[in-house]
């Protein structure tokens, strides 16, 4: 009987010791956190003449930044901001990984039939403790027509995928 209690106490002590050996990390990793599933799963990279591309999207490793190309092949001007969201695909479902990011509130414009390149700093992501571990991600941005008569319903949501190796 005493041996049984000794075995139980020993197992409890081992469990406590093993749990004390775990390390805590401040970095967010979607696979081990409780990040929310993205509200919209199917977001195109092109709509109404607007298109998002990422230069070398399949070969991104630990670069400090990535180049996002915005193409406006429509006949109207669009406005957009610096803000974007990053989502990670896990088992065919997109999850938000960047709820704590802050952006400068500035309105940018992309005229009709032009292209622009926007540099996305991965160092800034690390500053807000977002870790892009190997996997498939996408950047989500919104665009609005520059016309005075446009409404919130005219807002276009685009996403462009990229991989981190």
| 8 found inside a domain | no
Residue (of 72, 54, 64, 160) closest to 116 by Cα position:
72
| pLDDT tens readout for residues 107-142 | 899 999 999 998 887 666 655 556 777 888 899 999
CATH number of the domain encompassing residue 151: 2.60.40
Q: Which class for 54: exposed (0-12), middle (13-18), buried (19 or more C-beta within 10 A)?
A: buried
Domain range for 101: 25-164
Separation of alpha carbons 78 and 99, rounded Å = 25
| 69 found inside a domain | yes
| 155 found inside a domain | yes
| 42 found inside a domain | yes
| 11 found inside a domain | no
Cβ within 8 Å of residue 26, ≥6 positions away: 129
How many domains does the structure of the chain reveal? 1
| pLDDT tens readout for residues 10-49 | 444 444 434 444 433 334 444 444 468 887 888 999 999 9
């Amino acid at each position: 009987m005493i041996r049984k209690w000794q075995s139980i106490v020993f197992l409890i002590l081992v469990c406590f010791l093993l749990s004390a050996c775990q390390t805590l990390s401040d970095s967010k990793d979607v696979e081990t956190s409780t990040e929310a599933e993205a509200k919209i799963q199917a977001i195109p990279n092109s709509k109404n003449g607007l298109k998002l591309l990422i230069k070398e999207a399949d070969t991104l490793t630990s670069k400090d930044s990535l180049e996002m190309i915005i193409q406006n092949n429509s006949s109207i001007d669009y406005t957009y901001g610096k803000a974007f969201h990053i989502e990670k695909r896990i088992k065919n479902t997109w999850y938000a990984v960047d709820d704590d990011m802050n952006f400068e509130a500035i309105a940018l414009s992309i005229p009709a039939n032009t292209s622009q390149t926007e540099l996305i700093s991965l160092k800034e992501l690390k500053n807000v403790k977002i870790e892009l571990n190997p996997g498939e991600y996408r950047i989500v941005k919104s665009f609005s027509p520059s016309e005075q008569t446009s409404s919130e319903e005219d807002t276009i949501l685009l996403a462009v995928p990229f991989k981190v190796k």
